[in-house]
Amino acid sequence: MELEYVNEHIGRKIKDLRNRVGLTQQELADRTELTKGFISQLERGQVSPSVVTLLDLIECLGTTASDFFKETEEEHVVFSEEGFFEKVDEAGNSIQWIVPTAQKYQMEPLLVVLKPYQSLEEDKPHDGEEFGYLISGKLKLYLGDKVYQVKSGESFYYPAKRRHRIENSGGKPAKFIWVSTPPMF
């Protein structure tokens, strides 16, 4: 790694941290007994701080050396079909995890295709909520003692504190997006 790149990287991180904690260059300079000019040059990658100076800056900015140098992964926002995970049961019903790492998030979106007159296994009451949007076909939503008819283009939403089950009530495959929170699978 070139020294110029390292200096720019450190300078950018110092500036981001300083702005995040709401300090001016002068305030940071006063706290570290450095000059405002040095802080300015450092943030622009024009100077290399000594290890002692860098550690002092990091401490004054309210972080640790390990956190400062930890490289954060770029946030994954768009997921393609190649990354989906699919499970097909004995009846040919398909469940696709369309956000492969959803277990670490608060919601878990699925793309489900139920064959005609098939149903998903009944779900026992649990914490959380569930949402669905029927893309095509017909569904019956069993929620406690009630049964709801869902047509293509309609959505459903319910707290998952009652027994619930989803069934394809038509002669064609039913395709729907199903989102649960927290992730269940």
Asked whether 10 and 50 are in contact (CB, 8 A), the reply is no
Q: What average pLDDT score do residues 32-59 get?
A: 93
Band (pLDDT 50/70/90 cuts) for residue 81 is: confident
- Residue 79 is predicted with a pLDDT of 83
pLDDT higher at 160 or 77: 160
- Residue 72 is predicted with a pLDDT of 65
SS3 of 180, please? strand
Is the per-residue pLDDT at 2 higher than 80?
no
- Residue 20 is predicted with a pLDDT of 87
Is the per-residue pLDDT at 185 higher than 70?
no
For CATH 2.60.120.10, the residue range(s) in the chain are 81-181
Q: What average pLDDT score do residues 104-121 get?
A: 92
Within the chain, strands assigned E span 85-88, 94-97, 108-114, 129-136, 138-143, 146-151, 155-159, 164-168, 174-181
Tens digit of each residue's pLDDT (9 = 90 or more) over 119-130: 998 888 889 999
Integer Cα distance of 181 and 147 in angstroms: 22
Asked whether 57 and 82 are in contact (CB, 8 A), the reply is no
- Residue 15 is predicted with a pLDDT of 92
Is the per-residue pLDDT at 104 higher than 80?
no
Band (pLDDT 50/70/90 cuts) for residue 71 is: confident
Q: What average pLDDT score do residues 31-57 get?
A: 93
Lowest mean pLDDT among 35-39, 76-80, 162-166: 76-80
* CATH number attached to the domain at 3-69: 1.10.260.40
Integer Cα distance of 127 and 181 in angstroms: 8
In words, the CATH class of domain 81-181 is: mainly beta
Computed over every residue of the chain, the mean pLDDT equals 90
Q: What average pLDDT score do residues 135-145 get?
A: 96
For CATH 1.10.260.40, the residue range(s) in the chain are 3-69
pLDDT higher at 110 or 79: 110
